[in-house]
Amino acid sequence: LDDVKIYGSGVPGVAEELPPSTTATLRPYLNAVKATLQAALCLENFSSQVVERHNKPEVEVRSSKELLLQPVVISRNEKEKVLIEGSINSVRVSIAVKQADEIEKILCHKFMRFMMMRAENFFILRRKPVEGYDISFLITNFHTEQMYKHKLVDFVINFMEEIDKEISEMKLSVNARARIVAEEFLKNVRDLFCLSVP
């Protein structure tokens, strides 16, 4: 049992590596995001210093600079990156998804729009992403009090793993459908051409 590694044990301050099933190029990127998120999710209940009896996510309202942490950008390449903005009582995670061509851009936009319209079902999902990113999550101290921190981190990491697969599968499906439509169209054109020739 010495060589058995437990993933997602949720030990505070310990960034476990992701399972070997994750692709070799993606693993260091996701490990860096996971470690940063675990460090950023040390949140506590903190009332507003400006308005009495108000408790708003400081990362959103930005009313007190001393309560904000330095934003961290973890980038795999120019198009694929994560912005983690922390504060005393909330963390905002913004993800830019890889989009290699126009089809992927359209699919990504439609998929993210579909998810953001159902933001209340995901609890931590924002209805509008931060500018320059495709999707954003907002985690407050209330979320960390009601849910397991390591499960919240695992959800974000799992989302990052699965979103590329989903878009790739949708792209393959669209291409396959387009190929069938093109074949049928050309077959009909050929049949019409053959009928019109005496």
Domains in the chain (CATH in brackets) are: 24-195 (3.30.1460.20)
Say which DSSP state 71 is in.
Answer: P
Q: Which residue in 134, 157, 120 sits closest to 37, CA to CA?
A: 157
Structure confidence at residue 11 (pLDDT): 43
Contact criterion met (CB below 8 Å) for 157 and 59:
no
Burial class (CB in 10 A: 0-12, 13-18, 19+), 103: middle
Tens of pLDDT, residues 68-104: 999 999 999 888 999 999 999 999 999 999 888 899 9
pLDDT of residue 10: 44
Using one digit for the tens of pLDDT, what is the confidence trace for 143-171? 999 999 999 999 999 999 999 889 989 99
At 197 the pLDDT is 52
pTM of the complete model beyond 0.85: no
Of the listed ranges 22-26, 31-35, 95-99, 118-122, the one predicted with least confidence: 22-26
Q: For the chain, what is the total number of helices (H) and then of strands (E)?
A: 6, 4
> Where does the chain have alpha helices with state H?
27-40, 58-61, 102-116, 119-122, 141-146, 149-196
Residue 68 phi, psi (nearest 5) = -100, 145
* CA–CA separation, 134 and 107 (whole Å): 12
Structure confidence at residue 6 (pLDDT): 33
pLDDT tens digits along 5-18: 333 444 444 455 55
pLDDT in tens, 50-67: 888 888 999 999 988 999
The stretch 123-149 carries a mean pLDDT of 94
Sequential DSSP letters for 137-171:
EEEEHHHHHHS-HHHHHHHHHHHHHHHHHHHHHHH
